[in-house]
Amino acid sequence: LASSWGVLGDIQRNRGNWDEAERLYQQSLALRTELGDRSGMAESWGQLGDIQRLRGNWDEAERLFQQSLALSTELGDRAGMASSWGVLGDIQRNRGNWEEAERLYQQC
């Protein structure tokens, strides 16, 4: 169920239906949290962060991607870490923080 909600959220995100995508991602996160699926939680936080990034809510996007990064790091998920660093670099680049963006891209 959690995975299906995530995929349905992806479809809605790709269609530009960000409110519906966010609702589906929240459902996925709630079930993954209930099940203790920490890898899935990290993924859900990244999906929710992406919605905030698309909306231009940089602070909230950064907070969500930092959560995803922290859990990915704890789990040793190097691909998840790289993905989070890349998006965090994008956020800093969009803010004009070139040195911080470069540092994050280097980590990625």
pLDDT confidence of residue 34: 97
Q: Model-level pTM?
A: 0.93
Give CA–CA dist 47/60, Å, rounded.
Answer: 12
pLDDT confidence of residue 3: 94
- 2-107, which class in CATH? mainly alpha
Can you tell me the mean pLDDT for 77-88? 97
Which helix (H) or strand (E) segment holds residue 32: the answer is: helix 18-35
Give CA–CA dist 105/94, Å, rounded.
Answer: 13
Confidence class for position 55, pLDDT limits 50, 70, 90:
very high
On average, the pLDDT of the chain sits at: 97
- Nearest residue to 29 via CA among 18, 16, 40: 40
pLDDT confidence of residue 82: 97
Which own/partner pairs from 69-72 qualify as long-range (CB within 8 Å, at least 24 positions apart)? 71/38, 71/39, 71/41, 71/42, 71/45, 72/42
Confidence class for position 88, pLDDT limits 50, 70, 90:
very high
